[in-house]
Amino acid sequence: MSGTDDPELAIGVDAFTEQGVGLEVAVVGAGAVGATAAYDLATEGADVTLYDRDSVASDATGRAAGICYDAFADGLDADIASDAIERFRAFSGDDTFPFVECPYVWLAREDDADGADAIREQVRRMQDNDIVAFEMDGDALADRFPTLRTDDVAVAGIAGAAGYTDPARYTACLAAAATGAGATLETDTPVDVRADPPRVVRPDGAVHEVDAVLVAAGARTKQLLANAGISLAMKPYRVQALIANGDLAEPMCYDATGDFYLRPHADGFLAGDGTEEREADPDAYDRDADPNFAADLREQVAHRVPGIADGDLDRAWAGLCTATPDRDPLVGQVDGGLYVATGFQGHGFMRAPAIGERVAEEILGGSGVEAFDPTRFDGDEAFDVIEGMALDGN
């Protein structure tokens, strides 16, 4: 954690209600969703232990792009994204983590008629849901963002409620805030999960029986639930990203036709694509980027932003996202006292402040998110992995 010795003070946990007093909860997975849920539970008075097999934000969260936007045409998704951005703004600061306001652009090229029609329809639906979004043609886009090449752009959508942050710093801040509110953090502790009653089993065999267990362990959530006798309709899949030098102030951009995204970064710019549309093994996947990944993606980026074509490569890597049959996440109770939060199709970090809050509310006796109920699937469904960063995912 950087920036403060007492980050919990900076985000306002100096007082809490007693809604969760007497409730003992184990949260498995100290990524963005798990750390946020632990924070929200602890501030309601619950006795929380946050476990992770490695360190805070050591897996998928630490490899996330940090892009955050409210560019969803579906009303529920838009509400969750809006709430998440408001919490990013509220928690961020000089003593916690940065949240940089930055417009989000998604575009389709002139030879992509279906993509262009999809963007126009998305913008219309967003406006119907009172989301601040605008449609632009290539000329208008060039006037607004002169760094972008726009001569091949048929249409673009612009979302103003957007920004980017450092996923690892956000998560470290929320984990520290959770401990400041009374939670216990146990890193380097690869626990197992059991149901009926809900409990976790520590590496030494000691059993920690609790009132509720939340499994927010990213790609490993499926196996942890399987060990508890519960099948989960989720598949991990591999994605790739890079950071390179180059002066990019704005916007964040998703080129839907080229199938890549980029955003400003303290070291230049961050870009990604390289989705593998097949299930990956979370214990055996290649964490390094493919040999040709960086060169191929930088050629795509140079096409869209010519001014950053010659920057040196800083680093490239691979991480895991999680898919579900209907591309909606699995959030809520799967068994008595056993809860999950997974299946975010690459949008987990940007939704974490709102998802963590909602699943904490459900554990405390609230209604949860009916559309994301993980029991809507049997767990043995056959489905294809489809990337999350796509027009119909916005």
Question: How does pLDDT run across 97-141, given as a tens digit for each residue?
Answer: 999 999 999 999 999 999 999 999 999 999 998 899 999 999 999
Q: Tokens 């010659």 — which residue?
A: 310
Mean pLDDT of 191-212: 96
Q: Is the dihedral of CA 167, 172, 48, 320 positive or negative?
A: positive
Q: Where are the alpha helices (DSSP H) in 270-345?
A: 293-304
Q: What does pLDDT average to over the chain?
A: 93
Domains detected in the chain: 21-63+167-234+325-393 (3.50.50.60), 101-161+236-323 (3.30.9.10)
Q: How confident is the model at residue 9 (pLDDT cuts 50, 70, 90)?
A: very low
pLDDT at 341 over 50: yes
Tallying the residues shown for the chain, one arrives at: 394
Q: Who's near 57: CB < 8 A, 6+ residues apart? A: 30, 31, 32, 35, 167, 168, 171, 172
Helix (H, G, I), strand (E, B) or coil at 208: strand
